[in-house]
Amino acid sequence: MFLYRVKQFLWYLNGKITEKDLKYIESKLNNNEIILFRKLAINEQKHCINVAMDLEKICCSKKINSYELIKVALLHDIGKIDVRLSIIDKSILVILDYLSKGRIRKFNSINKINVYYNHGEKGANILKKYGYNERFLYLIRNHHNSNIKEDEELNLIKYCDNKN
């Protein structure tokens, strides 16, 4: 699993935001959301666009209303805007998480470790100020919470997140 993760990060090393990506973002987000979104590192923007596109396809095939969910997908990692994790940082954190069985989580006074584990909560806190509803914030906050299993929308987001 963790080797797959490392490989995933390497895919994003050369990530660029294309015209098509920009059009996609502009069609799904309002101006304030675009400003926020563009604060993410390029590789994170690319990741979020891929998550949103996958999610949209699944919603289409299952006839699920995707308007809010696509916004959630695009903004799900917004908790990473203040502390940037490079591809190398992430690869190291994935390995340390694996080797320590998640015990490095307690070193959350280190910014990068904190953001790696807690960016869902951070993201929800950032978005709270913009007046999103509780459900929207809940999905952002819990997108890495493995204790919640029975939430179909959350599971969809987790699935598309893990794929990308």
Q: How many residues bind Fe ion (CB under 5 A)?
A: 2
Q: What is the Cα–Cα distance from 159 to 53, expressed in whole angstroms? A: 12
For residue 119, the minimal CB distance to Fe ion (Å) is 6
Residue 59 or 141 with smaller CB distance to Fe ion:
141
> By CB under 5 A, what part of segment 25-64 binds Fe ion?
none
DSSP 29: S
* Chosen residue from 77, 85, 139, 140 binding Fe ion by CB under 5 A: 77
Q: Please report how close the Cβ of residue 143 comes to Fe ion at its closest, in angstroms.
A: 5
**What minimum distance in Å lies between the beta carbon of 61 and Fe ion?**
22
Q: What b/e sequence results for 45-64 when a residue is b if at least 16 CB atoms lie within 10 Å of its CB, and e otherwise? A: bbbbbbbbbbbbeebeeeee
**SS3 string of 60-120?**
HHHCCCCHHHHHHHHHCCHHHCCCCCCHHHHHHHHHHHHHCCCHHHHCCCCHHHHHHHHHH
Residue 161 binds Fe ion (CB under 5 A): yes
CB of 58 to Fe ion, least distance (A): 16
CA distance 105 to 103: 5
Q: Does residue number 97 form part of the binding site for Fe ion (CB under 5 A)?
A: no
Select the span of 24-32, 34-42, 86-94, 153-161 touching Fe ion (CB under 5 A): 153-161
Identity of the residue, 59 or 74, whose beta carbon is nearer to Fe ion in the bound complex: 74
Contact residues: Fe ion, CB under 5 A: 77, 161
